[in-house]
Amino acid sequence: MVRTVGVEEELLLVDAQSGEPRALSAAVLALAVDRAADDSAFESELHLQQLEFATQPRSDMGELAEEILRWRAAAADSAAQAGADVVALATSPLPVSPSIGEDERYRWLAERFGLTAQEQLTCGCHVHVSVDSDEEGVGVLDRVRPWLPVLLALSANSPFWQGQDTAYESYRSRVWGRWPSAGPVETFGSARRYHEQVRALVDTGVLRDEGMVYYDARLSHRYPTVEVRVADVCLDPADAVLLASLVRGLVETAARSRLAEEPPDPVGVGLLRMAAWQAGRSGMEGDLLHPVTMRPEPASDVVGALLAHVHDAMKDSGDGAAAEEAVRRVLERGTGARTQRAVFARTGSLRAVVAECVSGTRG
């Protein structure tokens, strides 16, 4: 049976005229919930300048693509009623003073983590893939670790921060890494060991609860899924579908490797951090660290290695040809980061960057 996939996307709320982020999530969320047949699709986020939606679990990528487009359009229509736009950017190109939501949990985060929480106006894309058990899920987590930076590179969509070019393709990944529980982790070997480690983190008192274990990939604490959290929100909705199909391919490939009793790659956390930094720095515009050798190679070659790694699983799910074509398009036109820089190079205006990306958000 083909594994189901769900996607969570975080979107920026921006002023329809200036492009500056606006703290309108409460109003837009109320309008979105009122318009939506499924009132559970939309949620608030840490900052009032954000809105999040989640798809249903889907086994068919065409249906997933339709749902992503539907919720992006519903969010945009609701924002328009509040005098705003939504835009799939992982950071705001324009300067912003983020506002923390009034939810008790968010206020706790603000008090506990200070400027780290205040500055976390970043938008990611989280992909959930179904697993049969926690044991299978942990076996997957242990085996997908080296490939996650490639997903970050493919999704890179945050070159600007507080009005400046950061020189990174994904600066969101650098900001997100300020959380004490974020980033790559060691192999666990068993579900028992995984849960022991999660409990140990929570028991330190640094984290509020299990939901704050921000590993690049983790067992979801709400659903029977592996949740891959490494990616920027993608400007082009087609890239979000590509990301989802690649994650499903990685999960299935890892699950098969576990059944065959093939050990996970023992690459250390230090090297994984180097790979993640390189992916955030250069995205698809330069070299990445190859997940097998941990040596620099052209991004196109590393993505080719990823496609080869998941080939059998994606062929069996029917995703292979579409994923290869989607990768070809990304290599040709670039990621959202390249799009943003191209607009700025042409116009010299970060407002123009936001305006063009508002249009691109709907595909």
- The pLDDT tens digits for 34-73 are 665 555 689 889 999 999 999 999 999 999 999 999 999 9
Q: Which residue has the higher pLDDT, 41 or 305?
A: 305
Select from 261, 241, 248 the least CA-distant residue to 3: 248
The CA distance from 84 to 271, in Å, is 42
Multiple choice CATH, 5-361, 3.40.50.2300, 3.10.620.30, 3.30.590.20, 3.20.20.70: 3.30.590.20
The CA distance from 181 to 214, in Å, is 5
- The pLDDT tens digits for 110-152 are 999 999 999 999 999 999 999 999 999 999 999 999 999 999 9
* Vertex 171: Cα angle to 168 and 174 (nearest 5): 115
**DSSP type of residue 20:** -
- The pLDDT tens digits for 18-32 are 999 999 999 998 887
Q: What is the pLDDT of residue 32?
A: 78
Q: Which of 9-18, 21-30, 151-160, 269-278 has the lowest mean pLDDT?
A: 21-30
159 pLDDT exceeds 90? yes
Question: Domain residue spans in the chain?
Answer: 5-361
Q: What is the pLDDT of residue 180?
A: 97
258 pLDDT exceeds 90? yes
297 pLDDT exceeds 60? yes
Q: Which residue has the higher pLDDT, 73 or 362?
A: 73
Per-residue burial over 333-358, b = 16 or more CB atoms within 10 Å of its CB, e = otherwise: ebbbbbbbbebbeeeeebbebbbbbb
Confidence label for 1 from pLDDT (cuts 50, 70 and 90): confident
- The pLDDT tens digits for 62-104 are 999 999 999 999 999 999 999 999 999 999 999 999 999 988 9
Cα–Cα distances in Å, from 6 out to 42, 65, 103, 184, 223? 14, 11, 25, 22, 10
The CA distance from 185 to 339, in Å, is 32
